[in-house]
Amino acid sequence: MHERRIPEWLRHAPAPGVKGFATLAGCEAVARGILISVMPLAMLETLGSAKSVSEAYFIVGLLSMVAGFLVPWLNRFVPRRWLYSGAALTFLVGAVIGAAAPDLIVVTLGLTTVAVATLFVCFNAYVLDYIERVELGRSETLRMFYSAAGWTIGPVAGVYLMEWWYPAPFLISGVAILGMLGTFLYLRLGNGKLIQKAKRPATNPLAYLGRFAAQPRLVAGWLFAVIRSCGWWVYVVYLPIFAVDAGLSEQLGGIMLSMTNGLLFITPLMLRWMQGRSVRQSVRTGFLGAGALSVAAFALADWPVAAVVALASVSFFLILLDVCGGLPFLMAVKPSERTEMSAVYSSFRDVSGILTPGAAWLLLLAAPLSSIFALSGGALLAAWMLAGRMHPRLGLRRIRIPVPEPAPVLDVLPFPAPPEKGA
């Protein structure tokens, strides 16, 4: 009797590796990239002013931060695979609402933002489970490389597709998130590699914040992520609004975002540059360049084209920070706190999503829009100064220096051998 063999890929789940996680990130980049330039313009059209847009982003940021912090607590009752899948479906619902009901664009923003926060917590926990510590730099670089197409083509395509047929970018985003969910199911990541029963239940989902605050390296790494994300917020949200207010093309924001995101294709070269340097040197270079050029954009605000060019140059250093800026935090996380600290780390998106529009909301009450560029530049330069306190050899491979054996003491010496240290 002929025996049917079960296919190998069904009997044994594929070993999750760097390429698998990069593929997940690539699908997510398409889903988010095609909406990233659409959302500010759609919000501006619906709400009518930059101040109202900032207010909406501020409220959604608060909601997203609460959701991100609740993920570890929910993970005690809901398996991680269901959290990830549920977040993907939440994003899909938000995209469908955006396509069908333009007046509910704020609802779309809320659902997609909460979904991204949840996906980010789960994704980082999976990475820390399956990727070796020495491979984290390569994992981050390949993730950026696989995401390059989505972040490069998506913004400009989203703007033009919205003009052609408003629902188009939202529907394409939904298809991409379905592709990400299919990839996740194929990889069968489950609930993580290391599943251990907790020694004691956490009564408060925020109880681990004390352990986070007690570790200065984690706090500094989180601050780097927050400030870097604020820089991206200014570039993604307020560059298109600045262009419209200055009388430039409405498509300029999407075009510039696509052009600068094309730099993601050179992230392997950035990694090669980083490999000969410490994490401190790489991080400081990124913050110094981004901060100085943001201040320059503020100074050149009366020449809008020059200001846009300066902001486009900021994105080069922000991409460098995307490659290396998360390493100080990831390298300091204890294996026993991966899920909890992944939730803390993921909060940088929501904190920056609160700080940036909140600060812009206040600034716009008494200052021009360009003042946001100056505030962003000041924060980036402050991060450059803070990064100077990192260990100078963080991230460099340790070199074992052989210790020469002590010379033998000859018996013919007329004096005894010197005593050993500590004897």
The CATH number of residue 61's host domain is 1.20.1250.20
Assess if residue 310 is contained within a domain. yes
Q: Burial letters for 397-408: b for 16+ Cβ neighbours within 10 Å, e otherwise?
A: eeeeeeeeeeee
Assess if residue 22 is contained within a domain. yes
Structure letter (DSSP) for residue 422: T
What's the distance, CA 180 to chain centroid? 17
State phi, psi for 247 to the nearest 5 degrees.
85, 10
Residue linked to tokens 């959701």: 67
* Cβ atoms of residues 155 and 257 within 8 Å: yes
| Contacts of 194 by beta carbon, 8 Å cutoff, 6+ apart | 129, 335, 338
* Structural domain total, the chain: 1
Query: What's the rounded Cα separation, in Å, for the pair 76 and 198?
Result: 9
Q: What is the pLDDT of residue 335?
A: 66
Token representation of residue 192: 């993580």
pTM above 0.75, yes or no: no
- In angstroms, what CA-CA distances link 362 with 37, 281, 365? 23, 34, 5
Assess if residue 415 is contained within a domain. no
Please report, as a single letter, which amino acid is at residue 336: S
Assess if residue 392 is contained within a domain. no
Provide the greatest CA pair distance for the chain: 98
Token representation of residue 273: 């540059």
Q: What is the pLDDT of residue 336?
A: 66
Q: What is the pLDDT of residue 96?
A: 94
Q: What's the burial of 376, exposed, middle or buried (CB within 10 Å: 0-12/13-18/19+)?
A: buried
Q: What is the pLDDT of residue 135?
A: 62
Assess if residue 54 is contained within a domain. yes
Assess if residue 214 is contained within a domain. yes
Torsion-angle region of 295 (φ positive above 0: left; ψ -120 to 50: alpha; else: beta): alpha
Look up the domain containing 87 and give its range.
14-192+207-387
Please report, as a single letter, which amino acid is at residue 221: G
Q: What is the pLDDT of residue 403?
A: 41
Closest alpha carbon to 40 in 252, 332, 287, 241: 241
Q: What is the pLDDT of residue 88?
A: 92
What does each of the 423 residues of the chain score in pLDDT, given as a tens digit?
A: 444 555 544 444 555 677 778 888 888 888 998 898 888 888 888 887 777 888 888 888 888 878 877 887 887 888 888 888 899 999 999 999 999 888 888 999 999 988 988 888 888 778 777 766 656 667 767 777 788 788 788 888 888 888 889 899 999 999 999 999 988 888 877 665 543 444 444 434 456 677 777 778 888 888 888 999 899 888 888 888 888 777 777 677 777 777 777 776 777 788 788 777 777 788 888 899 999 999 999 998 888 888 888 988 898 899 888 877 777 777 777 766 766 677 677 778 778 878 888 888 888 888 888 888 999 999 999 989 988 877 665 545 543 434 444 434 333 333 333 344 443
Please report, as a single letter, which amino acid is at residue 13: A
Assess if residue 40 is contained within a domain. yes
Q: What is the pLDDT of residue 291?
A: 93
Token representation of residue 110: 């809320």
Please report, as a single letter, which amino acid is at residue 251: Q
Q: What is the pLDDT of residue 265?
A: 72
Q: Is the dihedral of CA 370, 372, 378, 384 positive or negative?
A: negative
Token representation of residue 365: 């009450």
Assess if residue 110 is contained within a domain. yes
Closest alpha carbon to 241 in 49, 396, 18: 49
Query: What's the rounded Cα separation, in Å, for the pair 368 and 329?
Result: 35
